[in-house]
Chains A and B, each alone.
Chain A
């Protein structure tokens, strides 16, 4: 009898402890992360001007149509962040003689299981007028970005990511055998695609801002 009582006490206790095991994220917002990395060997002070395409390239699951409704808002936000850091924006349509020192690309992924370094990634950007500056005679379609770090795999759940890449446009001697364009900095705004379009956009925007906040090395040096 005594033994039985003791055993049931243990059972009751264990039950109690398991049932109040602590929680973790409660809301979708709490699953948002801003991930950044940069080329530790890059000299960010020599980059002063930039350009960015007027659209976002989407990587979506087969059969899905990308929704470009929010492109202008997101691109404007990215542009504003770079100009606030002191970099000068050059409109690719302006036919300016000034070549930007870096290009910013914005791409969006809404899928499960991806690596954001993709072999034929830059084929999507083939039409971008800014590439004339970047590619010059030797670079061309088929070239891909080269990350100086290993890519991040974002997995499981129904997640969406916006990837902002800062790509050097001043490379005079790219490693032509590899067809790689060096990526200087990359910011990933990752979150779950749940809730209204507006709430997803709001979350994405604050996560994009966070990518810049946590990258203090991104700043144009005083000339």
Chain B
């Protein structure tokens, strides 16, 4: 995972910022919904993503993103039924449970831009399609259970960038991410609010 991040950093760092490109770094807050909400219901304030967009004309862009969101919930003292590795016996275990979800979406994004490059606001809507590595972890006492899988994922989004000058802008956006259930890893669903900075190569 870390390797991927480093590689993408290098690639983005070296890519010449020529006309019609956009680099975007966002801070993200996410609310889990569905099965992920059942597992760890708390809102996440730990998230980021890195995006690259390449313009095809004035109104369309294609690009990619990689992100990271962490969800955490202290469930307090509760009971649960567990299987230990290598056995099918179910043991009842009561203790303080700590639950974590880590998700790393990697997607291709297509965007439609409503206004041209000279506007004060540049609203957009888009769709990301790709994969999401999702890890569900549960700790109770000395025991720990971890399941992780690559999920197929997609994410519709809306937002706007607010240009400060022809090279720099702010981004504010909202998106919904869905990752399909894979093995023991439940379907991943969350709403994400992104706040970020944008470097443009005009």
B84–A33 touching, CB < 8 Å: no
Q: Do A150 and B84 touch across chains, with their CB atoms under 8 A apart? A: yes
Task: Determine if B164 is an interface residue (Cβ-Cβ < 8 Å).
Answer: no
Contact of A150 among B13, B48, B86, B199 (CB under 8 A): B86
Contacts of A214 in B (CB 8 A): 79, 92, 94
For B199, the chain A residues whose CB sits under 8 A away are 2, 6
List the B side residues contacting A23 at CB < 8 Å. Answer: 98
B48 and A17: CB pair below 8 A?
yes
> Do B9 and A7 touch (CB < 8 A)?
yes
How long is the Cα–Cα vector from A35 to B166 in the complex, in angstroms? 63
B1-60 interface with A by 8 A CB criterion? 5, 9, 12-13, 17, 23, 25, 27, 46-48, 50
- Residue-wise, chain A 197-212 has the 8 Å CB interface mask toward B (1 for contact) of 0000000000000100
Per-residue contact bits, chain A 1-28, to B (CB 8 Å; 1 contact, 0 not)? 0110011011001100100111111000
> When chains A and B are docked, how far (Å) is the Cα of A88 from the Cα of B142?
35
Does B92 lie within 8 Å of A37, measured CB to CB? yes
Q: Which residue from chain B places its CB closest to the CB of A192 in the assembled complex?
A: B142
* Given A10-B50, A17-B46, A214-B79, CB of A157 within 8 Å of CB of B167: no
Partner of A2, one of B17, B72, B79, B89: B17
| Residue of A22, A156, A159 with most partner-chain B CB within 10 A | A22
Tell me the smallest distance from the CB of B38 to a CB of chain A, in Å.
18
Q: Which residues of chain A in 148-162 are interfacial with respect to chain B, using CB atoms and an 8 Å cutoff?
A: 149-150, 152-157, 159
The residues of A with any CB-CB pair to B shorter than 8 Å are 2-3, 6-7, 9-10, 13-14, 17, 20-25, 29-37, 149-150, 152-157, 159, 190-191, 210, 213-215
Residues B25 and A13 in contact, CB atoms below 8 Å apart: yes
Cβ contact within 8 Å between B139 and A24? yes
CA distance A24 to B89 in the complex (A): 27
Determine the chain B residues whose CB is within 8 A of the CB of A3 once the complex forms. 13, 17
Bound CA span A20–B70, Å: 10
Which chain B residues border A149 with CB–CB below 8 Å? 87, 89, 91
User: Please, how many angstroms separate the alpha-carbon atoms of A29 and B139 in the complex?
Assistant: 14
Tell whether A30 pairs with B96 under 8 Å between CB atoms, given A10-B9, A150-B86, A153-B84.
Answer: yes
Given contacts A33-B93, A35-B91, contact A154 B142 (CB under 8 A): yes
Q: Of B5, B93, B100, B197, which contacts A35 at CB under 8 A?
A: B93
Chain B residues in 8 Å Cβ range of A37: 89-92
25 chain-A/chain-B pairs, Cβ below 8 angstroms: A2-B199, A6-B23, A6-B199, A7-B13, A9-B25, A13-B27, A17-B47, A17-B48, A17-B70, A25-B98, A31-B95, A31-B96, A33-B93, A33-B94, A33-B142, A33-B143, A34-B94, A34-B95, A37-B91, A149-B87, A150-B84, A152-B84, A155-B142, A157-B142, A159-B142
Does A21 lie within 8 Å of B70, measured CB to CB?
yes
Residue B62 interfacial (CB < 8 Å): no
**In the complex the two chains form, is A20's CB within 8 Å of B46's CB?**
yes
B interface, CB within 8 angstroms of A: 5, 9, 12-13, 17, 23, 25, 27, 46-48, 50, 68, 70, 72, 79, 84, 86-87, 89-96, 98, 100, 139-143, 167, 197, 199
Shortest 10 CB-CB distances between A and B: which pairs?
A: A33-B141, A22-B72, A33-B95, A149-B89, A150-B87, A30-B96, A34-B94, A24-B98, A36-B92, A37-B91
A190 near B25 with CB under 8 A, answer no
Q: What is the bound-complex CA distance between A9 and B197, given in angstroms?
A: 9
Provided the pairs A2-B199, A20-B46 are in contact, do residues A190 and B142 lie with their beta carbons within 8 angstroms? Answer: yes
Q: A103 to B84, alpha carbons, bound, how many Å?
A: 27
B8–chain A nearest beta-carbon distance, Å: 10
Q: Which residues of B contact A32 (CB under 8 A)?
A: 95-96, 141
The residues of A that contact B68 with a CB separation of less than 8 Å are 17
Complex interface: chain B residues within 8 A of A190 (CB): 141-142
Q: Determine the distance from Cα of A24 to Cα of B94 in the docked complex, in whole angstroms.
A: 16
